[in-house]
Amino acid sequence: MSRRQVLAAAGGTGLLAATAGSAKAATTRRARAATGDGTPEQIHLTWGENPTNSVVVSWASPGESVRARVRIGQRVIPAEARSYTDGINGETVWTYHARVGGLRPGATYVYNVTADNDANAADPFSATFRTAPEGRAAFRFTSFGDLATPNTQWVLSYGQSAYAVAAVESFQPLFHLLNGDLCYADLNPTEQPDVWRDFGNNNQASAANRPWMPCPGNHEVEFDNGPQGFTSYLTRYTLPDNQVPGLAGRWYSFRVGSVLFVSLDADDVVYQDAGAFVAGPAALTPAASTGNPPIEPGTSFYIRGYSGGAQTAWLERTLAAGRGDQSIDWIIVQMHQCAASSSATGNGSDLGIREEWLPLFDRYQVDLVLNGHDHDYERSFPVRGADAGAGTEVATGAAVNTLRPHPVTTTDNGVFDTSWGTVHLILGCGGTDANLDDYGTDTADSKRQAKVFTRADRPALSSTPDVYARAAADAVEDAIWSAKRDTSTGYGIAVFDVHPDPDGFEGQTSITVTQYHAVGADPVNPATGAKGAPTPDYTEFETFRLVRPRSS
Ligand SMILES: [Fe+2]
């Protein structure tokens, strides 16, 4: 079926029968970077305020677009233009956002994206998407974080990130959760817009067909790009409104079926200092056109506490409303940094999240927390409450209270009732070239061990003259909450199938979770030293089921 036939079949409403098949595959268009080139690229969808009837189509163009717009059937929806000028290299980035409302639940639509100065105006970019179903319906979503780009000229980029996008498409989820550290533009500070561009064009192969819902990670924090460094991130994404003045887009919630999804910015609460950083010995000097002064060695962009408690207050309101709503069974949190990770070569766990948010997750029975940050896969037992006195300071061996999450069971039988405790999943397994699937072990007792940040690791002079470094986590604990770790690869994708009706469990709803992993994709396996290469081959690592009573 040609694109025109698809559009004809769609008729005046743009509604495309679910059985009609997809329109032509999204194609990457690397348009020339010339002033006045309004050719759409980096096309991606996010949910609107209500996923049953609204999406947002967002894109960028090399130059300023003229009359940027989306067409759905006979409807033409003008896009809102948002641009910014990168604070380091002075490049202006043009983005466009069309809010498409008034859609039918559970329906498939074909759309196209164009502008008067679109080089492809005769045959503009076209794709399809599906709205969320209404009521307690079954659906599938997928998740990973730490994606990077396939362009290996960029720091942390790797070919697996293209296969990871293809993996999302292969599972045909309703939407995808992208758990922060999107492309590591901050690690390529003089070329940030180009890194974002490679990221956007790589993702388009999936994100133009289904919403990709992101949260910020530490690498979205960029020098000279706004009060928290999020200008690039926030300009490119239009996200559900959190109704907190001045802090839109940093965190939000949305609902699909009987699940409330809560997306948080853990940069606001973690102790770890891991945002933009100039190690030295040279300063980072922004382009003269920006008017920004050199950023001296030893400077890091540390934003802990930036919301002044507004995010936590919003979280409590949102969780309370969600648990009070009898049509919501599940609460799933997405955030980048980890409360429960035992990666040895990665970052580890952070006491800031444990102090600030785990008590709320306990009080309101958050079922599942999806993270990134550590480039591996790890699953916790359901946890509730905290064990005091379980931590040891690395430097001195002194006891330190890490508020170790308390597992409500340590029997790994594949079925967990999350009304008794929250399961944490580390999914930093997207596509970076730094696989970190090497996990901690306490050499004294051979138990699993986690590193924990209990204080800020602000930059300090290293042993190399004029070069600064940020220290690793300052404490360790026996990770009795750790249930499963994938030691075979740092790459994978988690697939979640929500079953709203009781199926074999009296009066309970369930979510089946399957982790698929890309064995052999690690550039270097940290355990064996074996070299690998990117692979499209994702196979099952493990399946487990979460259950809980229906709310009604
Ligand atoms: Fe991270």
Q: What is the dihedral of CA 397, 403, 406, 412, to 10 degrees?
A: -60
Distance (angstroms) between ligand 1 centre and the Cα of 346 equals: 9
The C-alpha atoms of residue 3 and residue 69 are separated, in whole angstroms, by: 18
Instruction: Answer whether residue 412 shows pLDDT above 80.
Output: yes
The C-alpha atoms of residue 520 and residue 5 are separated, in whole angstroms, by: 42
Distance (angstroms) between ligand 1 centre and the Cα of 539 equals: 25
- Which two three-digit tokens encode residue 72? 């759905």
Distance (angstroms) between ligand 1 centre and the Cα of 290 equals: 27
When computed from its CA atoms, the radius of gyration of the chain, rounded to whole angstroms, is 23
The C-alpha atoms of residue 56 and residue 46 are separated, in whole angstroms, by: 5
- In the chain, DSSP finds a helix count (H) and a strand count (E) of 7, 34
Distance (angstroms) between ligand 1 centre and the Cα of 363 equals: 27
Mean pLDDT of 82-86: 98
Distance (angstroms) between ligand 1 centre and the Cα of 250 equals: 16
Question: How are beta strands 368-371 and 330-334 bridged, if at all?
Answer: parallel
Distance (angstroms) between ligand 1 centre and the Cα of 372 equals: 7
pLDDT tens-digit readout, 344-385: 999 999 999 999 999 999 999 999 999 999 999 999 999 999
Instruction: Look at the alpha carbons of 475, 481, 487, 491 in this order and tell me if their dihedral is positive or negative.
Output: negative
Mean pLDDT of 521-543: 93
Distance (angstroms) between ligand 1 centre and the Cα of 210 equals: 24
Region label for 305, one of left (φ > 0), alpha (ψ between -120 and 50) or beta (otherwise) = left
Are 548 and 329 in contact by the 8 Å Cβ rule? The answer is yes
Whole-number pLDDT of residue 507: 76
- Which two three-digit tokens encode residue 535? 């692979």
Whole-number pLDDT of residue 502: 67
Whole-number pLDDT of residue 31: 37
> Which protein residues have a CB closer than 5 Å to ligand 1 (ion)?
181, 217-218, 373
Closest CA relative to residue 477, chosen from 541, 391, 380: 391
Instruction: Answer whether residue 35 shows pLDDT above 50.
Output: yes
Distance (angstroms) between ligand 1 centre and the Cα of 10 equals: 42
pLDDT tens-digit readout, 250-286: 999 999 999 999 999 999 999 999 999 999 999 999 9
Closest CA relative to residue 426, chosen from 342, 487, 311: 342
Distance (angstroms) between ligand 1 centre and the Cα of 218 equals: 5
- Percentage of residues of the chain with pLDDT beyond 70: 93
Whole-number pLDDT of residue 16: 41
Distance (angstroms) between ligand 1 centre and the Cα of 491 equals: 15
Q: How deeply is 283 buried, as exposed, middle or buried, from its count of CB atoms within 10 A (0-12, 13-18, 19+)? A: middle
Phi/psi at 40 (nearest 5 deg)?
-65, 140
Instruction: Answer whether residue 222 shows pLDDT above 70.
Output: yes
The mean of the pLDDT values for the chain is: 93
pLDDT tens-digit readout, 417-445: 999 999 999 999 999 999 999 999 999 89
pLDDT tens-digit readout, 140-151: 999 999 999 999
pLDDT tens-digit readout, 278-333: 999 999 999 999 999 999 999 999 999 999 999 999 999 999 999 999 999 999 99
> pLDDT higher for 6 or 503?
503
